[in-house]
Amino acid sequence: MALTSHPHALTVEFLTSINQISATQWNAIANTDYPFLRHDFLLGLETTGCTTVETGWQPCHLILRRDDEVVAIMPLYLKTHSYGEYVFDWSWADAWRQRGLVYYPKLLTAIPFTPATGPRLCVSPELDADEGLHAVLHAIKTLAAQRNISSWHLLFPDEAKSETLLAAGLHRRAGTQFHWFNDNYSCFEDFLSTFNSRKRKALKKERRRVAEQGLVMKTLTGANIGEQEWEQFYRFYQLTYAKRSGHGGYLSRDFFVTTAAGMGDQVVMVLAYLDAHAVAGALYFCSDDTLYGRYWGCEEEYDCLHFEACYYQGIEYCIANKLARFDPGAQGEHKIQRGFRPITTWSNHWIADPDLSAAVGDFTRREEEQNDLYRQSAVKMLPFK
């Protein structure tokens, strides 16, 4: 589908597959090592059956062209539910239903199943950013009117982009995550030296407990992760999702053994072994300055192993590779006592119905005030001296 936005002479296209634009064109405009915006990552989600019409994640990626040249890109999905987003709007869907309206389908700009802050609307240097945003908003509103779409949601932009969208009329919503920051630590013990005595002893005890159970940790990257390790990890992932959610997870086996396996050194896998037998694993992705903790699984529970595989091994990797930040994923107040600081995350929301838009705006403003108070209280719980 193509729309022309006048008077800017920009053509807006909605792609039903990211394969309708070349990887070279997409990645050139994205111009980032943020792993989740890579063409092969998003295409892999499609081709391995994770983001399809059937799963409620219909690709609808937006591109802008000027004189047949791609000048902006934005991941976009037509959603028929709110699973896999990590910014919860189920109460909004209920409000629509109470008014006799339908909330789904909605438009979503996000990385599927990935609550990690990063670039969303990427604009070429040849295009004025305000002009590009104006064209995108016009196209979104036009598509919403044509297809009876209730809303557009953009999740986990950086703060500056969220402020820009707020100024453009989209509501802004705040959330909290817990991230680790590398203060030029030389080793894990150097990091621990910043803790107060009681918290430092507690963390050391957790790490000792892993060793006392006979567990051995192994970190693999890129080509060092073989087919056997990918198969093992997928089994752990499925088992853990089945225990927690009653289904085998959002991601397919093919996604792990083909797409993730093809991302080279941007993939880090931590495996736990007992008597040379792999029993658990954690999967990370990384950019030049950030480690992203994404998936975890185990075949049975061991004391403190989740903390070791998902947090402490990640911290050690960041220190060894001089990465500035470790984003371990959504939620988890238990991260605070382990040295992960509360940070604010953002999302922005355009609502077609004026009355419901006003209600959402009031809700997000009150929620942001509560989020500020929560973050302040979380800071007081940090383990540092």
What residue spans of 246-353 are helical by DSSP H? 253-254, 305-307, 313-321
Helix, strand or coil, per DSSP, at residue 181: strand
Exposure of 115 by Cβ count < 10 A (0-12 exposed, 13-18 middle, 19+ buried)? Answer: buried
Domains 2-175+345-379 and 183-323 share a fold: yes
**What single letter denotes the amino acid at residue 41?**
F
Angle at 156 between CA 339 and CA 245, to 5 degrees: 75
What pLDDT is stored for residue 246 in this prediction? 76
**What is the chain's pLDDT, residue by residue, as a tens digit (385 residues)?**
555 444 458 999 999 999 999 999 999 999 999 999 999 999 999 999 999 999 999 999 999 999 989 999 999 999 999 999 999 999 999 999 999 999 999 999 999 999 999 999 999 999 999 999 999 999 999 999 999 999 999 999 999 999 999 999 999 999 999 999 999 999 999 999 999 999 999 999 999 999 999 999 999 999 999 999 999 999 999 999 888 777 879 999 999 999 999 999 999 999 999 999 999 999 999 999 999 999 999 999 999 999 999 999 999 999 999 999 999 999 889 999 999 999 999 999 999 999 999 999 999 999 999 999 999 999 999 999 9
What pLDDT is stored for residue 6 in this prediction? 46
Helix, strand or coil, per DSSP, at residue 108: strand
Domain spanning 2-175+345-379 has what CATH number?
A: 3.40.630.30
Residue 106, beta-bridge partner list: 79
What pLDDT is stored for residue 294 in this prediction? 93
In what order do the strands lie in the sheet containing 10-15?
A: 2-5, 10-15, 61-66, 69-74, 122-123
**What single letter denotes the amino acid at residue 262?**
G
Picking from 350, 283, 355, the residue whose alpha carbon sits closest to that of residue 144 is: 350
Tokens of 315: 């911290």
Cβ within 8 Å of residue 198, ≥6 positions away: none
Question: Domain segments of the chain: what residues?
Answer: 2-175+345-379, 183-323
SS3 content of the chain, % helix, strand, coil (to 5): 45, 25, 30
Q: Helices 90-98 and 354-379, interaxial angle, to 10°?
A: 150
Count Cβ atoms below 10 Å from residue 361 Cβ, excluding itself: 16
Domain spanning 183-323 has what CATH number?
A: 3.40.630.30
Give backbone dihedrals phi and psi of 199, rounded to 5 degrees, phi first: -70, -35
Tokens of 244: 């927690």
In what order do the strands lie in the sheet containing 325-327?
A: 57-59, 77-79, 106-109, 151-155, 341-351, 171-181, 325-327, 290-298, 277-286, 267-274, 215-221
d(CA 279, CA 272): 6
* pTM, two decimal places: 0.95
Tokens of 263: 């991302």
**What value does the CA radius of gyration of the chain take, rounded to a whole number of Å?**
22
Is residue 349 within 8 Å of 151, Cβ to Cβ? yes
What pLDDT is stored for residue 7 in this prediction? 46
Is residue 220 within 8 Å of 269, Cβ to Cβ? yes
Tracing tokens 């800071």 back to the chain, one arrives at 379
Angle at 157 between CA 153 and CA 158, to 5 degrees: 155
What pLDDT is stored for residue 231 in this prediction? 96
**What single letter denotes the amino acid at residue 260?**
A
